[in-house]
Amino acid sequence: MIKNILESPMITDPWKHQIIDKFFDESDFKKIWDASKKLQETYRDKTITSNDCLTLAEVLDIIGDDVFDIILKSNTEILDHITDITNLYPNHYKHNEYVSFPTFHILPPNTGYQKIHDESSDKTISIVVYLYPENSTGTFLYKSKDRDSLVKEISWKPNSAMLFCGESDITWHDFCSREYPRVTLNYFVRSISSRDLKEKDDRYYWEFGNGMNAYIPKNVPSEKLNLLKSGILFRNL
């Protein structure tokens, strides 16, 4: 996967990004495809984006152990190669410590445009993997935060990914759905305020640099919980 990322051509219009084809091995993606279909069916009428995204731990009972392990392994590989990836993007946001906690975003059909944004400064690497269904809507790239500055739409293709490193007032983008739903897997390599897990009701969580949280239900099996609480998610640079 990393070789594929590092060798994918750099596209500069309207700003630097990459499109990675065949992000997962075919056999692995078949399992992820089936899991993402179940997610869409489970959350059919809900809009789930960055404000309430679903972590691997929150949907473990839907995606299953195999998909959980495949995605967490790929996440570790991305973290192990932060320097190699960010070397391709000299103007990336720089932090001393990074975390990546993969999440799912789900849009039902005919969900309007999200707010055009350039990416918050706590995010250093953003990777959006297009999952389900076969046809949907990709990502819209702009020259500015004005909607009439649209340059292009990244085409939706299951098991392809868009990767970029956010830059203030440059990497303007958003997304929506049209007649089909939209399920994506998102790897955001970002800063974190503390490695210490906090508790809220029946969940553990970390606070990210922008004040948002990633939740782990307390009823997650102990072996998965211990894995998520270990250093596998964090890197110091």
Q: Domain ranges in the chain?
A: 2-236
If we measure between CA atoms, which residue out of 166, 184, 1 comes closest to residue 81? 1
**Helical H runs in the chain?**
2-7, 26-42, 60-80, 82-86, 222-229
Residue 119 has pLDDT above 70, yes or no: yes
User: Is residue 66 within 8 Å of residue 35, measured between CB atoms?
Assistant: no
Q: Give the pLDDT band (50/70/90) at residue 226.
A: confident
Q: Give the pLDDT band (50/70/90) at residue 48.
A: confident
If we measure between CA atoms, which residue out of 43, 169, 159 comes closest to residue 111? 43
- Which pairing describes strands 103-107 and 123-132: parallel, antiparallel, or unpaired? unpaired
Nearest 5°: CA angle at 184, between 182 and 190?
140
User: Is residue 56 within 8 Å of residue 216, measured between CB atoms?
Assistant: no
Average pLDDT of 211-231?
Answer: 77
Average pLDDT of 128-135?
Answer: 97
Residue 107 has pLDDT above 80, yes or no: yes
237 by DSSP, 3-state: which?
Answer: coil
User: Sheet holding 150-154: strands in order across?
Assistant: 150-154, 139-142, 173-174
Instruction: Check residue 139 and give its pLDDT.
Output: 97
Q: Give the pLDDT band (50/70/90) at residue 214.
A: confident
How far is it, in rounded angstroms, from Cα 162 to Cα 69? 22
Residue predicted with more confidence, 71 or 235:
71
Burial of 99 (0-12, 13-18, 19+ CB in 10 A): buried
Q: Which two tokens stand for residue 111?
A: 């969900």
Report the range out of 89-98, 107-116, 136-145, 183-192 with the highest average pLDDT.
136-145
Q: Give the pLDDT band (50/70/90) at residue 129.
A: very high
Residue 212 has pLDDT above 80, yes or no: no
CA–centroid distance for 86 within its chain:
16
Domain 2-236 CATH assignment equals 3.50.50.60: no
Q: Which residue has the tokens 């990836």?
A: 85
Instruction: Check residue 178 and give its pLDDT.
Output: 95
Report the range out of 1-10, 99-108, 159-168, 210-219 with the highest average pLDDT.
159-168
